[in-house]
Each structure stands twice: as C-alpha cells, then as structure tokens.
Homo-oligomer: A and B are copies of this chain.
C-alpha cells in the first residue's frame, strides 16, 4: 500500500466532525478503495476547548487556520469553515498557493470564487473538488463530470434545498400555511433559526450556478441566477395546483437557450408547478434531487439527502478517495481556461406555461380588468378559477394557467396591472415545469 493521503481539516462543526467520524469508522474500507490510507494529520476550528464528541487528540491542533496550508505534512486541505469570503476563502487560496489539494463543502465560496480557485488549482496542478457543495451526499458533481460527459445537456434542474422542499411538501401534506410549516421545519432541525438564506432561494442558487457551469461548460455566473424564494406560496396555491394535477416545488433550473443571438444561459430558482407524473413530484421532505437531460442519456435523476453531517461527509470523503486514487480531473469537467463566457438569457424569451395567482378585492369588474390586461399583453388563458378565501372577508383569489407563450407577455400583463387598486397583494407567478 502506498503512502497515506494526509489531510488537514479546517472547521469542526457538524460536517467537520462527520468527516472525522467517517474516516475513522470506515478506515480500512476507504484505504482499500482509495489504494492508500487517508489520514487526518491536523485540525483547526475557532474554539479548541469545545466538546465535539470526537477524539481530536490524535491530530495536531493548529491555532492559526492559515498556517495549515503551509504544513509540509499535509497533502490536502479540507475547508469546512463556511462563508463565501473571509477565513474560508483565505484558507482556500493559501492552500492552493502552497500546492495543496483543496476539498470543500462550501457552496457559497465555490459559487462566488470557484473560477478563481479552479484557475489557481490548474496553475499548481493541484486537485480542487467540491462534491459536497451541491446536494449533500448525492454524487451529482461526479454524475455530471463523468456520468453525462458524453452528452450535450438540454436542461439541468432539481430540488436543491431541503428546507424549502420540506416546507412545501409538508404544506401539501397538511394543508397548513407557510409560516406554520416553516416553524415545524425549524423544530425538526430542517430549517435554521434564521432561515432567509434557504427560503429566499439563495442556497439553491449557489448550487444551481455550480451545476450549470459543470453541465454546460460555462464560466460560473452566480450573479446571473434569478432567484425567488417560497415565502409567497400559500396553502391555497398548493391546493389549486393539486386540483390542476401539479405539486409545488422550489426548482433550480438552468438551460442554454438560443433565440438567434447565440447561446444564452438561463439560470433560475423559483417555485414551480411540477406535474404529478414527473419524478420530482415524488420528492418529499428534506430530500434533494437533480435531473440532467442529455441528448443521448435522456433524463437522469440523482436523488438523496441534500444536507446533514453524514451525507455531506460522505461526499467530502468521496472527493478525498478520488484524489488519493489520482483520478481528480478538471473541477468543472473541462479545463477552466476552456469554460465559455455565456451571457444571461432574457427570461422574457422563455416559451412556457405559467400559473398566476391574483389576490383581489371582491367587487364587480375586477376579473374583467385582469382578463383585459392579459388580452392586451397577448397572454392566452387556458383555465381560470376564482374563489373566496375562507374567513378572509372581502378577499378573493383568482388563479389561472396560461397557454404556452413567451414569458414577456405575462410580465407585460402584470405591469399593466401594477398599481391597480383591484389587486390587494402582489400577484404570484409560478412557471409550469415542462415534462
């Protein structure tokens, strides 16, 4: 057996201690599969004295996180500190600068600085891997880099945030409203005390930007992701969707579009209506699932736990095994210099169907006003349901589904209605996922 792969581990939260537990628990199996032992030599975190339930005495404790990168006895730095910038980024840069490999679970850092880090890794010919940054324990980064490598992908999309999926599928199961189910998620540990990052779709957007770069061979462009969270989705929307044959899911979706000006990348995170028969409709609870549609492979689904200490540790150590085997390739599937810059697509060009929900005053003429705006903007309505909200004096909901058409017409219709005193709340638009 060859020399061990020597690891320095920065960050000892739940994922960090999960990685330690995994490496200790499956030590022999990992060595057999990696072709050599994987050994933690040094660890660091903010607080040394905290009891983490794992024995750290076998590893060197490093007080200065940045000093880890300089250690001669380290081959790979595992960054589990978190945060897109700050100490995590400084450590990542200095690790690669020092010629070490870098493995991270930090989706925010990869989404914001993944290109720079990949460039640095390429210069140093060091491995840089981040399987754990996308969809927890699901090997979807490897799935796209290797499994679908022969394919031109049409779409990459999925359920990328377990908190949102738990809340939405529990709203569906119980009929309860958003606030109540968010609180339930917090009580069960599926949502943070400050849930904004998850429920506003930012976490899913980080993951989507990474998947799009790998799948389409484009330079990662997090800022171009259009993000909308789930806070506006009501129990009545879910009931309405159900009556129409859909469930509501927060879907991150990336497509390469070409409307005559060359390829444009559309990246969006939005609550969507997913047809019952689509595999994503069956994904409930805090599960993640990613779909890649290749021109030869057809639709592939990767599903599993999207978060948690153990699944995330599984992904981190999978990267380490790949590095130990000497099989780590270009982080984004093609060399970073070959990644294409791709302008953001105009979402108005998207051809599709949408669900629209208006909350309106209960008085004559409102429906005529809405349908006139639709007509004037060129939106064709497939079906429409108007109903009073229970116990909600005077407020009426109008839900409709459009025929297929350009999204810009829907946007135009909404802008015609903007400021109308008939609308008592901002309308909600949810695209219908094409099957």
Q: Which residues of A line the B interface, CB within 8 A?
A: 18, 22, 25-26, 29-30, 32-35, 131, 137-139, 142-143, 146-152, 217, 279, 281-282, 289, 294-305, 308, 310-311, 313-315, 317-318, 320-322, 325, 327, 329, 333-335, 338
Q: Which residue of B is nearest A328, CB measured?
A: B327
- The answer to whether B303 and A303 touch across the interface, beta carbons within 8 angstroms, is yes
Bound together, the chains give a CA A404 to CA B146 distance in angstroms of: 41
A308/B298 contact (C-beta < 8 A), A26-B152, A149-B318 known: yes
B-side contacts of A299, CB under 8 Å: 304-305
- The answer to whether B150 and A139 touch across the interface, beta carbons within 8 angstroms, is no
Bound together, the chains give a CA A131 to CA B313 distance in angstroms of: 26
- The answer to whether B302 and A297 touch across the interface, beta carbons within 8 angstroms, is no
Bound together, the chains give a CA A315 to CA B147 distance in angstroms of: 7
Copies of the chain in the assembly: 2
- The answer to whether B329 and A310 touch across the interface, beta carbons within 8 angstroms, is no
- The answer to whether B318 and A147 touch across the interface, beta carbons within 8 angstroms, is yes
- The answer to whether B298 and A310 touch across the interface, beta carbons within 8 angstroms, is yes
Instruction: Report which of B217, B298, B333 forms a contact with A311, defined as CB distance below 8 A.
Output: B298
Interface centre among A22, A137, A321 (most CB of B within 10 A): A137
Bound together, the chains give a CA A139 to CA B314 distance in angstroms of: 18
- The answer to whether B333 and A150 touch across the interface, beta carbons within 8 angstroms, is no
B-side contacts of A311, CB under 8 Å: 296-298
Instruction: Report which of B35, B137, B308, B317 forms a contact with A300, defined as CB distance below 8 A.
Output: B137
Bound together, the chains give a CA A143 to CA B320 distance in angstroms of: 15
Bound together, the chains give a CA A300 to CA B289 distance in angstroms of: 10
B-side contacts of A26, CB under 8 Å: 150-152, 295-296
- The answer to whether B321 and A149 touch across the interface, beta carbons within 8 angstroms, is yes
B-side contacts of A325, CB under 8 Å: 329
Q: Which residue of B is nearest A32, CB measured?
A: B334
Bound together, the chains give a CA A334 to CA B18 distance in angstroms of: 24
Sample (22) of A-B pairs whose CB atoms are under 8 Å apart:
A22-B150, A25-B295, A26-B296, A29-B217, A32-B338, A33-B217, A131-B147, A138-B300, A139-B146, A139-B147, A142-B147, A146-B322, A149-B322, A150-B318, A279-B303, A297-B305, A297-B315, A298-B310, A298-B311, A301-B302, A302-B303, A327-B327
